[in-house]
Structure 1
Amino acid sequence: MVSSATIAELRESLRAIQGDGLKRRPVLPFGVAALDGRIASGGLRLDSLHEVAAASPDPSDDAAATLFMAGAAARAWGPVLWVVRRRDLFAPGLYQAGLDPERVLYAEAADDAEVLALMEEGLRHRGLGAVIGEVKRAAMPNTRRLQLAAEGGKTIALLLKRHAREGGNPLHVPSAAITRWRIGSAPSEPLPVEGVGRACWRVALVRQRGGEPFETIMEACDETGRLALPARLADRTAAADGADRYSYVEAA
C-alpha cells in the first residue's frame, strides 16, 4: 500500500512540474478588493471563457447582464467583437458603461451555432481584446471549444446565456466556463436630495473554478467600466480616498 505521505509528495512534485496556470495567466481585475479577493484568480482570466446570465427574463435584468459584460470589455485592451442574434444593442448604453462604440465590431449571426462559430474564430485571431456572444443554448462541447480557443491568448471570452421562452435557469446546462455569473438589477442607492442614485446590481458568482460561489450588491459600471461598492457596504475610511471604490489595474 502506498502511504498518504508518498501520494502527497508525488502530487507536490507534479504541481511543481506543471506549475499553477491560474497564477501565471493574465487577469482582468475588477479593481474592488471586496470582489477580486473572492475570485480564485483575483479577477477575470483573459485567456478563458466566462458565462453571464440575467437573473430573470425581465428587461432590466437583461440590461444589467449586458452592461456587466460591456464594463468588462471596456477594461480589456484592444477592439471588441460582439456577436448578436438580434439588433437590440444600444450603443449609448454601452458607452455609459465605458465601452466606446468605436472599439466594437458587430457581427450578426443567424442562429446559436453561428454565434459560437464566430466567437471561436474571433478568439483564435489573437488580435481582439474581448469576444462577446449571446445565445440561448450552448452545450458542453461548444463551451469547451471556446475555452480551448481562448487558452494561450489574452482575449477574454464572454458568453451571455439568454432565457429561453419556456423559462428555466440558463446556467443549468454544464459548461467549461471558468466563471459563471448571474446579474440582476437592485434598488439604487438613495440620494440626500430628490432623484435616483447610481444603479445597483445583484452580482452572483454561481460557479468558479478553484473557488466558492458568492453573491453581493455592487454599484453598476460607471463611464470607465468600473463597478463599486455601495457606500453603505464600503469601508468609509477606504471609500473616502477612493482606494477600494475606484482603484483599477490595467491588464498586461
Structure 2
Amino acid sequence: MELPVSSPAELSRLRARIVALEGVGADAVPGAVALGLPELDAALPWGGLALGCLHEVTVAGSGSGPGSGPADGAATAFSAVLLGRLAAGAGKPALWISRGDMPYAPGLAALGLSPERLVMVQPHRAAQCLWVLEEGLRCRALAGVLAEVRDVDLTAARRLQLAARASGVPAVLLNHGPSGGTAVTRWGVESSPSRGDPALGVGRWCWHVELLRCRGRGVDDQGRVAAWEVEWDEQARGLRLAAPAADRAIAPGRLRAAG
C-alpha cells in the first residue's frame, strides 16, 4: 500500500499542529521566566520556566490526597514559588484554584507570592476545577494559573495545552494523582531537613527537587533530568542551593549550659 505524498506546506502545518498539542518545542517557545537559580534555569532549554504550556509538580504520597503532610506541603510551597516567579516576571496577577483548604496567605507572601497579585477560586467539583483552569488559561491578563488537580485525562490535558498555547499563559498543575504525561516539565518535590543552625530555631524551607521530565532533555539512569537540594531565602526572596549537611561545632555557651 502506497501512502499519499504530502506537500512541504502540509507537512509544516502537521508539525505545527503536533507542537500545539504536545506543548512547546525547542523552536516554538513563546517566552520563559527565569527561576532565579542558575542551576535550575540552566537545566531548562528555555533558560527558565516556559510560558504558554503546562508544568506539573507531583506530591510524594499523593494517594492520601491533599493535605497529606510534609510532602504535600513541600510540593505546595514549591508550586507557590513557581507561581510567584511568574507573577513577578509578568507584573500581572495569578490565579490559584484550590480543591482543599485555602492556602495560608502570610505563608504564600513569605514565599514571594503576594496576596495583592493573587486571585483565589475554590470549586466544589473536579469538572468545575477544569473549567476554571481552562478559562484562566485563556485570559491574557493573568501571569499564570496554579490548579490542584487529580486524574486529568489526556483529552482534558490537550484542551488545557491548546488554551495555554493560544494565550501564552502557563499552568502549574499541583498534581495529587497519577501523572497525565502531557506537561512540558514535571517536578517531584520532597521536604528536606533544614540546614540552618538549630540554636536559631526553625530554619529555612528546604526541599529535594527532581526534574523528572523536560521536553528537549534526556534522563539519567534514575529516570530524572536533574536533582537539587534547594532552600528558600526569605530575605532575598529567591531559591538557592542548600549547603551540604555537615557536623557543626557546638558553641561554647551551649557547652557550659550542657555541662
Query: Shorter-chain TM-score: what band?
Result: 0.7 to 0.9
Kindly indicate whether structure 1 or structure 2 has the higher relative contact order, using CA contacts under 8 Å at least 6 residues apart: 1
Supply the AA of the counterpart residue of 1:27: A
Q: Is the 8 A contact 1:98 1:221 kept in 2?
A: no
Q: Is the 8 A contact 1:98 1:224 kept in 2?
A: no
**Which residue, out of 29, 32, 40, partners 1:27?**
32
Q: Is the 8 A contact 1:71 1:225 kept in 2?
A: no
The separation in 2 between residues aligned to 1:225 and 1:144, in whole angstroms, is: 34
Where does residue 75 of structure 1 map in the other structure? 85
Where does residue 248 of structure 1 map in the other structure? none
The one-character-per-residue Cα deviations of 1:225-251 (angstroms, maximum 9, x if unpaired) are: 521111349xxxxxxxxxxxxxxxxxx
Matched, 1:52 2:64: no
Identity within the alignment, %: 37
Query: 1:95 and 1:176, CA in 2 relative to 1: closer, same or farther beyond 3 A?
Result: same
The separation in 2 between residues aligned to 1:194 and 1:123, in whole angstroms, is: 43
Matches within 5 A, 1:191-210: 191=197, 193-210=199-216
The separation in 2 between residues aligned to 1:67 and 1:124, in whole angstroms, is: 25
Supply the AA of the counterpart residue of 1:37: A
Q: Is the 8 A contact 1:61 1:183 kept in 2?
A: yes
Query: 1:190 and 1:221, CA in 2 relative to 1: closer, same or farther beyond 3 A?
Result: closer
* TM-score normalized by the length of structure 2: 0.73
The separation in 1 between residues aligned to 2:105 and 2:176, in whole angstroms, is: 19
Query: 1:26 and 1:142, CA in 2 relative to 1: closer, same or farther beyond 3 A?
Result: same
Task: State the number of aligned residues.
Answer: 212
Query: 1:80 and 1:112, CA in 2 relative to 1: closer, same or farther beyond 3 A?
Result: same
Where does residue 250 of structure 2 map in the other structure? none
Measured after TM superposition, the shift of residue 154 of structure 1 is 3.4
Where does residue 98 of structure 1 map in the other structure? 112
Supply the AA of the counterpart residue of 1:151: R
Query: 1:177 and 1:225, CA in 2 relative to 1: closer, same or farther beyond 3 A?
Result: farther
Structure 1 segments unaligned to the other structure (5+ residues): 1-9, 164-169, 234-252
Where does residue 116 of structure 1 map in the other structure? 130
Measured after TM superposition, the shift of residue 194 of structure 1 is 4.4
Q: Is the 8 A contact 1:95 1:223 kept in 2?
A: no
Where does residue 220 of structure 1 map in the other structure? 232
Measured after TM superposition, the shift of residue 63 of structure 1 is 1.3
Query: 1:224 and 1:108, CA in 2 relative to 1: closer, same or farther beyond 3 A?
Result: farther
**Which residue, out of 231, 237, 245, partners 2:243?**
231
Matched, 1:40 2:54: no
Matched, 1:162 2:166: no
Query: 1:22 and 1:152, CA in 2 relative to 1: closer, same or farther beyond 3 A?
Result: farther
Supply the AA of the counterpart residue of 1:74: G
Query: 1:91 and 1:224, CA in 2 relative to 1: closer, same or farther beyond 3 A?
Result: farther
The separation in 2 between residues aligned to 1:229 and 1:159, in whole angstroms, is: 24
Measured after TM superposition, the shift of residue 152 of structure 1 is 3.7
